[in-house]
Amino acid sequence: MWSWRPSPSGRRRSLVPAAALLLLLLAALPASAQTAMPEGMLPAPDRSGAIHRGEASVFAPNLAGRRMASGARFDPKSNSVASSDLPLGATARVTNLRNRRSTIVAVRDRFPRRGDRILNVSPMVARQLGMRGSSVIRVEVAPLAVPQADGGIRIGQGSGLSGRKAYVTPVR
């Protein structure tokens, strides 16, 4: 350990060489080593309204009644989904890519992205998509309305009016 006490020879040790060596080592690190996101971290939600493809799994029915990220309690008979990409409050059309069955869902929960998994759907949504006997299926998620950070709503590609912005006005 570096000390500010005089050494046996009577001279003080300097921190300058150690600090210079540390700066040199930090500068030699690749930029990618500093920007990697650990597995299980939640990325910022995608507010672009772009269509996503990936895998969907089913919420376990024993989670009924537990609070979701939106604050609502999970109901297995609802159209709720958890998304690793879309923000809370978004609505989307989800299509099973194997049988082309689709349904409209509401994003009410979040979960960390693992591999190609982008959605976790309620048992009711799983039935509507025809997931019988399948725990994981390939899906296309076409956002219809995506809440924006400024309070507006972006119309998603699933609506056919992509890129337009809407605002919610209270009814008096």
| pTM exceeds cut of 0.75 | no
Q: Which fold has domain 52-166?
A: Barwin-like endoglucanases (2.40.40)
Question: Would you call 70 helix, strand, or coil by DSSP?
Answer: coil
- Please tell me the predicted confidence (pLDDT) of residue 12: 54
147-166 pLDDT per residue, tens: 888 888 888 888 777 666 66
Confidence of residue 31 (pLDDT cuts 50, 70, 90): very low
Q: Which residues contact 60 (CB under 8 A, 6 or more apart)?
A: none
For residue 32, is pLDDT > 50?
no
Tell me how crowded residue 52 is: count the other CB atoms within 10 A of its CB: 20
Task: Using pLDDT thresholds of 50, 70 and 90, give the confidence band for residue 140.
Answer: very high
Can you tell me the mean pLDDT for 96-101? 94
Q: Is 130 left (phi over 0), alpha (psi -120 to 50) or beta?
A: left
For 11-30, what is the mean pLDDT?
56
**Closest to 59 in 3D by CA, of 44, 42, 79:** 79
One DSSP character per residue, 79-116 reads -EEEESSSPTT-EEEEEETTT--EEEEEEEEE---BTT
d(CA 126, CA 56): 9
Per-domain residue ranges of the chain: 52-166
